[in-house]
Amino acid sequence: MRITLSTSALPTSALSARARSIGAVVVGAALVAVALTGCSTSDQTAAAGGSTRSIETLYGSVDVPTSPKRIVAIGFTEATTLADLGIKPVGRTNYIPSLDAYDTFFKDIPVVEDANANPDLEKIASLKPDLIVGSEFADKADKAAFAKLSAIAPTAIFEWKPAAANWENEAAGTAEAVGRTADLDKLKADYAAKAAEIKASYQDYLSTHTVDALSGDVDNWYLDGPTSAPGRVLGDAGARLGAGAGQKDGYVQYSPEQYGILADTDLIFVSADTTDDATPVTSNAVFATTKAAKAGQVVQSAHFYSGSYQMANALLADFSKALAAHAG
């Protein structure tokens, strides 16, 4: 049995879609099925075994093993949360955020997707998981597809929101599913302490200057708002958004001619792995007229779309470094 997803509605921007389309494709593909080809899974169904406990998920109450041993993560938020907790899944989604610690951690873990980034249920079943974790948009919940996953192993699916807006809730759900809530609480406290330190250290600058976060390519760019993952992380560290402050959506798409809305922003973060990757944004003539560009206060970060506390801490580190360089 394989779940197949049409990708015709995906954004065309690789940079901006990198994490945003993951929610619709890599994370959600196992649940947003447009075609199912069948095969027998009766001999592949993983029995949870031992004691179970009930947790709340997007699909209601689900009984999961008290101490799962063989976990498959079909979402990057769930996979990276497991990594933060020191738990190696037996199978994972192909997309994992770029972080040295994750590159090493996930290197030898089988990917449970085909060449088209569609989760392969045969591969998942062959790993004999006792728990499957992932996420999905609430309005695209597919009970039939969920049932196919649940026939393999108890499946905990948590709500995904655009721009990884509720990554902390997904992390909490994953930790609860594997019985490690107390350990996640320690990671959360460490993150909060780091954010508070930055906020206190640069209080004067942050109270008088604005920050915006965006990603883009030559065709479009995307401005993050306060509910997006970068908006929330930067906000926890005291950032006041400029042009993105009033956005209700996690991100809003604009054309290159509209970079002027960033005219008065003091510090701009661009989602990019390298300076060259940021060039489609930074080389734009309109972007060059912004206050931040003129003052050389444009920085890039490869850690925008936090799906875990390690990623959030990495963005905090980028923010702290930028403030040290530009807030003087």
What Å distances lie between residue 311 and 23, 171, 183, 203, CA to CA?
17, 12, 17, 23
Neighbours of 147 (CB within 10 A): 11
pLDDT value at residue 50: 78
The H or E element spanning position 79 is helix 76-84
Cβ atoms of 61 and 166 closer than 8 Å: no
Cβ atoms of 319 and 237 closer than 8 Å: yes
- Name residue, tokens 């593909």: 29
pLDDT in tens, the chain (328 residues): 223 222 222 233 333 333 333 233 333 434 433 333 333 333 333 344 479 999 999 999 999 999 999 999 999 999 999 999 999 999 999 999 889 999 999 999 999 987 877 778 999 999 999 999 999 888 777 888 889 999 999 999 999 988 888 899 999 999 999 999 999 999 999 999 999 999 999 999 999 999 999 999 999 999 999 999 999 999 999 999 999 999 999 999 999 999 999 999 999 999 998 889 999 999 999 999 999 999 999 999 999 877 899 999 999 999 999 999 988 6
pLDDT value at residue 7: 27
pLDDT value at residue 215: 95
Q: What does the chain come to in residues?
A: 328
Cβ atoms of 102 and 310 closer than 8 Å: yes
pTM (2 d.p.): 0.84
Three-state DSSP class for residue 15: helix
What Å distances lie between residue 152 and 4, 17, 65, 147, 187, CA to CA?
17, 30, 14, 9, 31
pLDDT value at residue 261: 97
Q: Which of 92, 81, 73, 173 is nearest to 131 (CA)?
A: 73
At 156, the amino acid letter reads A
pLDDT value at residue 242: 98
The H or E element spanning position 106 is none
User: DSSP code of 46?
Assistant: P
Q: Which domains are delineated in the chain?
A: 2-185 (3.40.50.1980), 194-326 (3.40.50.1980)
Q: Tell me whether strands 71-73 and 131-136 are parallel, antiparallel or unpaired.
A: parallel
pLDDT value at residue 46: 38
The H or E element spanning position 150 is helix 143-150
